[in-house]
Amino acid sequence: MRYLLAGPLIYCLLVSCGERQAGAKNHIVLIQGMKFQPAELTVNSGDTVTWINKDFVDHDVTEEQTKAWTSSVLPNGKQWSRVINSSTDYYCSIHVVMKGKLKVN
């Protein structure tokens, strides 16, 4: 009897219950032409956002209100990812006019 119950539980852990996590998406924000593109992005909680610096100058991705998190300096061609769980405004602390916004559904 114990084995009969363990089977579905293990199946659940390995396969079906993992699908919710697998449903999380990855979004790309390009840093190009001194802008975040797209500057506004709507995601689901738990999604990952990856920023890629396509410019030849350094940029960073920093939470704007309290600087709660930062990518640190991203040279040309580098990328950085973060799992997003709440709406947030961010900017580039090197070029403070560069701003972006993430909205969580």
Q: Which residues contact Cu ion by CB under 5 A? A: 59, 92, 94-95, 98
Q: Pick between residue 46 and residue 81 the one whose CB is nearest to Cu ion.
A: 81
Cα three-residue angle 100-96-48, rounded to 5 degrees: 30
Minimum distance from CB of 53 to Cu ion (Å)?
8
Q: Pick between residue 59 and residue 82 the one whose CB is nearest to Cu ion.
A: 59
Q: Pick between residue 39 and residue 94 the one whose CB is nearest to Cu ion.
A: 94
79 vs 33: CA distance, rounded Å: 16
Minimum distance from CB of 55 to Cu ion (Å)?
8
H runs (alpha helix) in the chain: 2-14, 19-22
- For 31, the token pair is 């840093």
Minimum distance from CB of 10 to Cu ion (Å)?
48
Minimum distance from CB of 77 to Cu ion (Å)?
15
Q: Pick between residue 84 and residue 98 the one whose CB is nearest to Cu ion.
A: 98
Q: Which residues of 54-66 are buried (b: 16+ CB within 10 A; e: fewer)?
A: ebeebbbbbbbee
